[in-house]
Each structure stands twice: as C-alpha cells, then as structure tokens.
C-alpha cells in the first residue's frame, strides 16, 4: 500500500471570542509548504473543526465550502490533487471560514494516523468527520481483477473504518455532550440497490452503512453520533465518466428527472454535521437521490 504522509500545506488557526461568520484579518500566512499567499482567518471560539476526506473535488469540495461558509475550521483532505485542495482552502477563507489542506491516503492506516496528528497539532481537536473520499474501478464480475476489488474496498470501506476509529479514539478521551462529536459517511444508493459492473463499489458502500450502524451503537456512550448520506446520481468527475447512453438510462429512472448537485448533498451534510436538531439522530441513512431509491 502506498504511504502518503500527512503534510499540512496551508495552516491557519486562530480563535477569538465572538461568533461566526468570521472576518478575515490581514495577517501573514503561517503556511509551511507550497501554499499560495493567504491570510489568517479568525473564527469563533466555538467553531467546529471539521475533517472532510476527499475534499479537493466534487461532493467533498462542496461539503467543505458549505460548512466552511458557516465560520468553521475545515480540514481539506486530498490524495493527489494538491492545487485543487488549496483552491478549496482559499475559497473557504473567502467565505468566512478557516481551512488547511492535508494530504493523506485514506486507504492507509498510518497515513490517516499522521493526518489526525497534524489536525491536532494545527487545530487542537476534531469535532466532525465526514468520510467522503471514494473511488470507482468498475468491471463486470467475471473480469474483475483482484486489484479492482481490493483498492475500492481499501479506500471506500476500510478507509472509513480507519478514519472513524482514529476520530473516536481522539474524542473518546473526553466525555462529550450528546451529539457533540459527529461522523457522516458518504455512501451511495448503489450500496442499497446494487449496480451492474460495480460489485466492488456496492459492497463497499453497503459496508459503510452497516459500519455506521455498529459505530453508532458503540460510540453513543461518548456522545458521538454516526450517520450516512446516500447520494444518487450527482454531477461530479465521477459521474462525468458515464457514457451518454448510461446517463440517459439513469435519468429515466429518477423520479425528479435530473441529476443532483454537489451543493444539494452538502446541504444534508451541513444539517447532520452542525444542526442542533441532528444531535438526536444516529445510525441512520438519508438519501439525496431525486427519488431513485424510494422504498429502500
């Protein structure tokens, strides 16, 4: 397994009293490496530290920006897209939040441990974990290679276990109030209804739902809730890969007759991550899918 050590590319953290949205201050950046010119943002003392895995693009980037725009401190994790991750960091700062970009391979336990160490060093804590990083390596079962199977399971399922474990171990040391720590796993309708050519992906996404149910039971004692979002077909690099014919087929199956937007998934993520009303929700899955998986 490739090991990518966690490296902070842009680090900015300052806490002051008062409430978000934070006002940007004209202070010099404390970026350690490869960071564009940036300014320190000051956010509210009670701003949450939110780790979004795979936040350089697509759904993860939209979630990071949506939550960041509410004045929180976002950890923008990425695997290889450094420039895109830094763009997301800068956008969050413009929107009134604070952010750092941290490179880590979310299929690798050591890389994840290093990422959490970096988060604690830079922000002091981690209140919300959004397990969004994911890949596809599609193929029909008879021809699916072992690498296609293991890499998708490693990233989309084992990675979610490792990050959830690291997040819980960090927070279990302190007794939090109910719902103070929150984990949100980005699964998929494919984990509920299956998909031809995606045995690896559907197995991983179904696994993430089961994992969330077990973790919700186990982590409740320490005030950590665990929930799942199951997006349907959402516009992103991942779905841009679909052929016109396949996209047309799926559109026909969606009662609302359109693909969703990353912002629509981000709205659900913000609710589950931040809303006080979500503090009493744990172990459940919420579909953002235009109705395609009604009844599942």
The catalytic residue positions are 201
- Using CB under 6 A, which residues numbered 211 to 240 contact ligand NAP? 231, 233-234, 236-239
Cis peptide before 25 (omega within 30 of 0): no
Out of 114, 155, 202, 227, name the contact with ligand NAP by CB under 6 A. Answer: 155
Candidates 85, 64, 68, 294; CA nearest to 186 is: 64
Task: Find the shortest distance in angstroms from Cβ 231 to ligand NAP.
Answer: 4
Task: Find the shortest distance in angstroms from Cβ 4 to ligand NAP.
Answer: 8
Residues 6+ away with beta carbon under 8 Å from 134: 54, 155, 156, 186, 238
Residues 6+ away with beta carbon under 8 Å from 169: none
Q: How many CA atoms lie within 13 A of 23 on its CB side?
A: 6
Residue 86 or residue 106: which is nearer to ligand NAP going by CB? 106
Out of 10, 69, 81, 202, name the contact with ligand NAP by CB under 6 A. Answer: 81
- DSSP at 158: I
Q: Is 245 in the site for ligand NAP (CB under 6 A)?
A: no
Q: Is 167 in the site for ligand NAP (CB under 6 A)?
A: no
Q: Is 163 in the site for ligand NAP (CB under 6 A)?
A: no
Residues 6+ away with beta carbon under 8 Å from 222: 168, 171, 172, 175, 176, 181
- Using CB under 6 A, which residues numbered 51 to 70 contact ligand NAP? 53-60
Out of 163, 188, 202, 282, name the contact with ligand NAP by CB under 6 A. Answer: 188
What gap in Å lies between CA 240 and CA 290, rounded to an integer? 18
Say how many residues touch ligand NAP, by CB under 6 A. 31
Residue 53 or residue 285: which is nearer to ligand NAP going by CB? 53
Candidates 194, 56, 173; CA nearest to 126 is: 173
Q: Rounded to the nearest 10 degrees, how much is the dihedral formed by the CA atoms of 76, 214, 162, 221? A: 80
Residue 30 or residue 261: which is nearer to ligand NAP going by CB? 261
Residue 3 or residue 19: which is nearer to ligand NAP going by CB? 3
Residue 2 or residue 173: which is nearer to ligand NAP going by CB? 2
Interface residues with ligand NAP (CB under 6 A)? 53-60, 77-81, 84, 105-107, 132-135, 155, 186, 188, 231, 233-234, 236-239
């Amino acid at each position: 397994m490739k090991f990518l050590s966690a490296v902070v590319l842009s680090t900015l953290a300052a806490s002051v009293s008062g409430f978000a949205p934070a006002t940007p201050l004209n202070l010099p950046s404390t970026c350690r490496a490869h960071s564009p010119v940036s300014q320190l943002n000051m956010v509210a003392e009670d701003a949450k530290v939110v780790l979004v895995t795979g936040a350089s693009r697509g759904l993860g980037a939209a979630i990071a920006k949506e939550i960041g725009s509410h004045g929180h401190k976002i950890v923008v994790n990425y695997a290889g897209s450094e420039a895109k991750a830094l763009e997301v960091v800068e956008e969050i700062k413009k929107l009134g939040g604070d952010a750092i970009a941290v490179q880590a391979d979310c299929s690798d336990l050591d890389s994840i441990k290093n990422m959490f160490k970096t988060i604690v060093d830079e922000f002091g804590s981690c209140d919300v974990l959004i397990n969004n990083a994911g890949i596809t390596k599609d193929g029909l079962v008879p021809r699916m290679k072992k690498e296609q199977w293991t890499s998708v399971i490693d990233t989309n399922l084992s990675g979610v276990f490792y990050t959830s474990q690291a997040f819980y171990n960090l927070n279990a040391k302190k007794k939090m109030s109910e719902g103070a720590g929150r984990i949100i796993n980005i699964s998929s309708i494919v984990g509920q209804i299956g998909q031809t050519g995606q045995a690896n992906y559907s197995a991983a996404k179904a696994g993430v739902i089961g994992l969330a149910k077990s973790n919700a039971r186990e982590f409740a004692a320490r005030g950590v809730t665990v929930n799942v979002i199951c997006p349907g077909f959402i516009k992103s690099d991942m779905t841009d890969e679909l052929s016109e014919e396949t996209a047309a087929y799926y559109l026909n199956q969606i009662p609302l007759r359109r693909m969703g937007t990353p912002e629509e998934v981000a709205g659900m993520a913000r609710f589950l991550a931040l809303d006080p009303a979500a503090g009493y929700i744990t172990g459940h899955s919420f579909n953002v899918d235009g109705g395609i998986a009604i009844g599942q």
